Structure 1
């Protein structure tokens, strides 16, 4: 039995299979999941698990070189944007229109759906290399 890191077997497998520049999405309950992209649904109830809790767990187990959020997050969910900028360094966070974000999500290896019920609580994480 695994005793540290991501215990969810589906997420653990996706992270282990990521190559350089592959992406995953951590999403709120409202983001449409693109056809053909694997959905890992963690949502239990509204707000659980939270966006921040899920991002923290994934970030501790994944080498991340790039982070993308929807530019609408700044106006409609500044708390989440502030968290992402603190977590990943403000200058390293890219922004794009929400419609472009949804197009980028089509290329993700997986979308991890949280129970977060706040607007634009979505992030694309691009895998880096640790060597």
Structure 2
């Protein structure tokens, strides 16, 4: 046990976040996401929501300030302008928790999967809300 850390940050997840460098990406994925078949490194947080996971990650990891899209979600198939409720909550968490809030950008479904395959890691949550997936690009931690 450690003090001051969200208990959702498991040893595996903490190690992964610490090992990531500037510009590396991590995916927080819902329960329907094909994590096992797409991940270089897979961390399972079954039973935990994607929004709770995002909040815990943002408490210890800065978003990249050198890019316009440090946070990406998957577009709704057939309605790319729709913003699912879970994505609204992601945006609220970024605005209230991230060091440098940024508007979420979106990717077409297959482009999202392709980007996720290149990510440093995928965190598979128990999120049941559809489109509960987000890619985060790690920023710099200044001295």
TM-score (norm: length of structure 2)? 0.79
Moved beyond 4 Å, runs of 4+: none
Unaligned runs of 5+ in 2: 65-69, 96-100
RMSD: 2.0
Q: Which residue of 1 aligns with 2:75?
A: 71
Specify every segment of 5 or more residues in structure 1 that has no aligned partner in the other structure, as ranges: none
Change (3 A) 1:74 1:61: farther
State how 1:28-107 maps to structure 2 within 5 Å.
28-33=30-35, 34-35=37-38, 37-43=40-46, 48-65=47-64, 66-72=70-76, 75=82, 78-89=84-95, 92-107=103-118
Q: Distance in 1 between matches of 2:61 and 2:39?
A: 23
Matches of 1:107 and 1:85 in 2, distance apart? 23
Displacement of 1:130 after TM fit?
A: 2.7
Aligned equivalents of 1:12, 1:124: Cα separation in 2: 17
- Bigger fraction of residues in strand: 1
What is the CA–CA distance in structure 1 between the aligned matches of 2:23 and 2:34, rounded to whole Å? 22
Q: TM-score, normalised by structure 1?
A: 0.85
| CA offset digits 1:59-94 (Å, max 9, x no partner) | 11111121010121863x621121122222586211
Measured after TM superposition, the shift of residue 127 of structure 1 is: 0.2
